[in-house]
C-alpha cells in the first residue's frame, strides 16, 4: 500500500501537467510493463489472476486521478463539471470494468472535456449580452410557425450551458458524452452565425414589428456588401462566419441607432443646401479665400459628398459604421466651415471676378489688389466701391496687356538688333534700357499707369527707330544732312540757271532765224 501511495505521489504532478489523453497512454504502458515483468505462475495458487486484478486496481487509481485532473480551473483548458467527473469516476467501479474499458472511458472523457471548453467559450461570449438586448435579433430559426427566434434559442442555450458547467452532483440530465454537448454547441453556432446574419436582413428589410431603420444610402450600401460577404461564408465548407465578419456585424448592431440620428441630420443639411456642390466649387475657385481654408472645406466636403447626394459608397459606409459618432461630427465640421466660407465668398466674389478677368497683371500686382479687395469687402458692400476697384484694376491691366503684346511682338527682334554691327551704339543702349524696364515690369509691383504706358510705348518706338536707322534712304539722308553745302538750294539754283540758259538759247536762236529771213527777203 505504501508503494502504491508513493507511485500516486509521483504521478500527481504528471497528471496535473499532462493532457489526460497522454496520461491514458502512459497508464496503459505501465500496465503492460507490469504485466510483462510479472512472471506467469501456473501453479494452483492462481497467481496470474491476482496480478491482473492488481493491475486493474492500479489502472483504476490512475484513471480516477486523470479524471480528477480534468476539473475546471482558471486556465482555459478542456474540463469536466463536478457532476461529469463523478459520473466518469463511477464508471471505474462497475463490475464489468476492464483496463481496456478504462482507456476507452478516458478517451471519451477527454473528448467531452474539449467540447465542454467550447461550450464554456460560447456561453461566455461577449456577443451574448449585446444580442440579448438587440432589437434586430428577432428572426426565427426556421419557417415553422412555432419556431423560436434566435434570441430565444440563444437564451435557452445559455441557460443549459451554465447549468451543465456548474452542475456538481450527477443526475439523469448530466451531459456525459461529447455528442450531447455538441448538440448544445450547435445551438450557439446557429445563433452566432445564421443568427448574426439575420441582423443584417432585419436592418435592411425590417421584420414583423421591427421597422428597417432609415439610414443614409452610404450606410445601406455597406450593409448589403457585408450581407453578401456573410452569405458567402455561410455557403462555404465551414458554414461559419469569420471572426472579422462577426465583429463587423456586431458593429452594425451597435451603431444602427446612432447612424439613424446622424442620417436624419445629413438629410436636413442636404435639403437646406441643395446648391452646395456648385457653391463649394465657386469657393474653391475664389482666389481671395485662403488656400488652407479651401483645402479644409474640400476635405470635409469630399468625405461627405456621397452622403449629401444619398448615393451608395461602401467605403464611406464602412467608415461610419465602424465609428458612428464620427458621422455627425464630420457633418458639424462641414457645416461650420461651409457657412463661414460661403459668407466670405459672397462678399468677395465680385472682386475675385474682376481680378480673374485681369489676366495681364503680374503676381505682385495681383497680390496688392487682392489685399485691397479683401479690405474693401470687409469694410463695405457698397457697389460703388466695387466699381471703383474695377476701374482701377482695368486701367493697369490694359497697359500691362499692351506691354506684354509689344514684348511678344518686338522682344526677339530687339535682341537681334543688339548684335547688329550696323546699328549705332546709342540705339543699342536705348534698346537694352527699354528691354530691362519692360521685363522688370513683368514682376515689379508697379501700379503707376503712366510709367507702364511709357515703357510699353518705348518698346515699339525703339524698334521703329532702329529700323529707320538701318534703312538705305536714311543713310543718304544722314550723309546729306552732314554735308556743309545746302544741297536743297543747290538744286534750286542749278535748276534756275539751267532754265535761264535754256530761255536765252531759245531767244538767240529765234532772233538769228528772223535776221536770216529778213536778209533773204531783201
pLDDT of residue 47: 61
Q: What is the pLDDT of residues 399-427, one digit of tens each?
A: 999 999 999 999 999 999 999 999 999 99
Q: C-alpha angle with apex 304: 220 to 211, nearest 5 degrees?
A: 25
Cα-Cα-Cα-Cα dihedral sign, residues 16, 22, 25, 29: negative
Look at residue 521 in the predicted model and tell me its pLDDT: 57
Average pLDDT for 149-167: 97
Handedness of CA 272, 285, 447, 396 (dihedral sign): negative
Quick one: average pLDDT of 202-219? 94
C-alpha cell at 108: 471519451
Higher-pLDDT residue of 501 and 24 is 501
- Residue 157: which pLDDT band, with cuts at 50, 70 and 90? very high
C-alpha cell at 505: 538759247
> 11 pLDDT band (50/70/90 cuts)?
very low
What pLDDT digit, counting tens, does each position of 128-144 carry? 999 999 999 999 999 89
Residues 197 and 241: beta-carbon distance below 8 Å: yes
Q: How far apart are CA 230 and CA 251, in angstroms?
A: 14
The upper half-sphere exposure of residue 184, i.e. CA atoms within 13 Å in the direction of its Cβ, equals 28
Quick one: pLDDT at residue 519? 58
Q: What is the dihedral of CA 24, 30, 36, 40, to 10 degrees?
A: -90
pLDDT at 201 over 50: yes
- Position 42 scores a pLDDT of 39
Q: What's the pLDDT score for residue 369?
A: 98
List, in sequence order, every residue forming a beta bridge with 140; answer none if it has no partner: 149
CA–CA gap between residue 396 and residue 409 (Å, rounded): 20
Q: 287-290 long-range contacts, Cβ below 8 Å, gap at least 24?
A: 287/352, 287/355, 287/356, 287/370, 288/344, 288/348, 288/351, 288/352, 288/355, 288/370, 288/373, 288/374, 288/377, 289/341, 289/344, 289/345, 289/348
In 3D space, the residue among 73, 70, 74 whose CA is nearest the CA of residue 83 turns out to be: 70
Answer yes or no: are the C-beta atoms of 82 and 168 closer than 8 Å. Answer: yes
Share of the chain above pLDDT 90, in %: 77
Residue 135 CB neighbours (<10 A): 16
CA Rg, the chain, in Å? 54
Mean pLDDT of the region 49-56? 86
pLDDT of residue 490: 53
State pLDDT tens for residues 281-333: 999 999 999 999 999 999 999 999 999 999 999 999 999 999 999 999 999 99
Span 177-195, pLDDT tens digits: 999 999 999 999 999 999 9
Question: What are the grid coordinates assigned to 74, written together?
Answer: 482558471
Mean pLDDT in residue range 488-503: 66
Nearest to residue 397, comparing CAs of 356, 438, 431?
Answer: 356
Closest-CA residue to 284 (of 303, 270, 299, 297): 297
**Burial class of residue 33 in the structure, from the number of CB atoms within 10 Å of its CB (0-12 exposed, 13-18 middle, 19+ buried):** exposed
Name the average pLDDT for the chain: 88
Among 67, 71, 35, 72, smallest CA distance to 51 is for 35
Backbone φ, ψ for residue 413 (5° rounding): -70, -35
Question: What is the pLDDT confidence band of residue 43, given thresholds at 50, 70 and 90?
Answer: very low
Does the structure show a pLDDT above 90 at 277? Answer: yes
User: How far apart (Å, rounded) are the C-alpha atoms in residues 418 and 400?
Assistant: 24
Cell digits of residue 367: 497680390
Give the model confidence (pLDDT) of 353-378 as tens digits. Answer: 999 999 999 999 999 999 999 999 99
pLDDT band at 16 (very low <50, low <70, confident <90, very high): very low
> How far does CA 179 lie from the centroid of its chain?
49
The candidate with the shortest Cα–Cα distance to 338, out of 267, 269, 263, 259, is 269
Q: Say which DSSP state 80 is in.
A: B
Q: What confidence category does residue 506 fall into, taking pLDDT thresholds of 50, 70 and 90?
A: confident
pLDDT at 28: 40
- The residues with which 71 forms a beta bridge, in sequence order, are 80
Closest CA to 300 of 243, 246, 354, 340: 340
Whether 50 has a pLDDT exceeding 50, the answer reads: yes
Q: Where are the alpha helices (DSSP H) in 124-240?
A: 127-133, 150-166, 178-192, 194-205, 217-234
Please answer whether residues 99 and 59 qualify as being in contact, where contact means their C-beta atoms are separated by less than 8 angstroms. yes
Which residue(s) pair with 207 in the sheet? 210
* Position 472 confidence tier, pLDDT thresholds 50, 70, 90: confident
CB neighbour list of residue 313: distance below 8 Å, 6 or more residues apart: 217, 218, 221, 306, 307
DSSP 86-143: HHHHHHTTSTT--HHHHHHHHHHHHHHHHHHHHHHHHHT-THHHHHHH-TT---BSSS
438 pLDDT exceeds 80? yes
pLDDT band at 481 (very low <50, low <70, confident <90, very high): low
Alpha-carbon distances of 294 from 288, 341, 342, 453, rounded to whole Å: 10, 8, 11, 37
Cell of 26: 502512459
Residue 53 has pLDDT above 80, yes or no: yes
Amino acid at each position: 500500500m505504501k508503494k502504491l501511495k508513493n507511485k500516486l505521489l509521483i504521478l500527481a504532478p504528471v497528471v496535473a501537467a499532462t493532457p489526460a489523453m497522454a496520461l491514458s497512454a502512459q497508464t496503459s504502458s505501465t500496465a503492460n510493463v507490469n504485466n510483462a515483468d510479472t512472471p506467469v505462475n501456473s501453479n494452483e495458487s492462481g497467481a496470474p489472476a491476482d496480478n491482473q486484478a492488481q493491475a486493474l486496481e492500479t489502472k483504476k487509481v490512475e484513471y480516477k486521478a486523470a479524471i480528477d485532473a480534468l476539473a475546471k480551473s482558471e486556465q482555459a483548458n478542456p474540463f469536466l463539471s463536478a457532476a461529469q467527473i463523478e459520473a466518469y469516476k463511477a464508471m471505474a467501479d462497475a463490475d464489468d470494468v476492464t483496463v481496456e474499458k478504462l482507456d476507452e472511458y478516458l478517451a471519451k472523457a477527454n473528448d467531452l472535456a474539449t467540447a465542454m471548453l467550447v461550450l464554456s467559450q460560447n456561453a461566455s461570449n461577449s456577443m451574448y449580452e449585446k444580442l440579448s438586448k438587440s432589437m434586430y435579433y428577432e428572426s426565427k430559426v426556421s419557417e415553422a410557425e412555432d419556431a423560436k427566434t434566435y434570441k430565444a434559442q440563444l437564451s435557452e442555450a445559455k441557460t443549459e450551458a451554465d447549468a451543465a458547467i456548474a452542475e456538481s452532483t450527477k443526475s439523469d440530465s448530466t451531459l456525459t458524452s461529447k455528442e450531447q454537448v455538441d448538440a448544445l454547441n450547435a445551438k450557439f453556432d446557429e445563433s452566432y452565425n445564421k443568427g448574426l446574419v439575420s441582423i443584417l436582413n432585419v436592418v435592411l428589410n425590417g421584420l414583423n414589428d421591427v421597422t428597417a431603420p432609415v439610414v443614409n444610402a452610404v450606410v445601406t450600401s455597406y450593409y448589403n456588401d457585408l450581407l453578401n460577404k456573410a452569405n458567402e461564408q455561410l455557403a462555404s465548407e465551414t458554414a461559419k462566419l469569420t471572426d472579422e465578419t462577426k465583429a463587423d456585424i456586431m458593429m452594425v448592431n451597435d451603431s444602427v441607432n446612432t447612424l439613424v440620428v446622424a442620417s436624419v441630420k445629413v438629410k436636413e443639411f442636404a435639403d437646406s443646401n441643395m446648391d452646395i456642390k456648385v457653391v463649394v466649387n465657386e469657393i474653391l475657385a475664389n482666389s481671395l479665400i485662403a488656400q488652407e481654408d479651401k483645402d479644409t472645406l474640400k476635405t470635409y466636403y469630399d468625405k461627405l459628398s456621397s452622403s449629401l447626394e444619398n448615393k451608395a459608397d461602401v467605403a464611406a459606409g464602412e467608415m461610419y459604421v465602424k465609428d458612428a459618432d464620427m458621422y455627425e461630427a464630420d457633418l458639424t465640421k462641414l457645416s461650420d466651415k461651409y457657412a463661414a466660407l460661403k459668407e466670405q465668398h459672397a462678399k468677395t466674389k465680385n472682386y475675385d471676378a474682376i481680378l480673374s478677368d485681369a489676366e495681364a497683371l503680374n503676381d505682385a500686382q495681383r497680390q496688392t489688389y487682392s489685399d485691397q479687395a479683401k479690405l474693401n469687402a470687409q469694410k463695405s458692400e457698397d457697389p460703388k466701391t466695387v466699381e471703383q476697384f474695377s476701374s482701377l484694376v482695368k486701367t493697369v491691366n490694359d497697359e500691362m496687356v499692351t506691354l506684354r503684346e509689344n514684348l511678344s511682338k518686338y522682344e526677339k527682334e530687339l535682341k537681334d538688333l543688339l548684335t547688329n554691327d550696323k546699328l549705332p551704339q546709342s540705339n543699342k543702349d536705348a534698346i537694352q534700357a527699354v528691354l530691362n524696364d519692360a521685363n522688370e515690369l513683368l514682376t515689379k509691383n508697379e501700379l503707376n499707369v503712366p510709367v507702364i504706358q511709357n515703357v510699353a510705348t518705348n518698346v515699339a518706338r525703339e524698334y521703329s527707330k532702329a529700323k529707320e536707322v538701318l534703312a538705305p534712304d536714311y543713310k543718304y539722308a544722314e550723309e546729306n544732312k552732314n554735308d556743309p553745302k545746302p544741297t536743297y538750294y543747290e538744286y534750286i539754283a542749278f535748276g534756275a540757271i539751267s532754265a535761264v540758259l535754256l530761255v536765252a538759247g531759245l531767244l538767240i536762236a529765234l532772233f538769228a532765224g528772223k535776221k536770216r529771213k529778213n536778209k533773204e527777203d531783201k
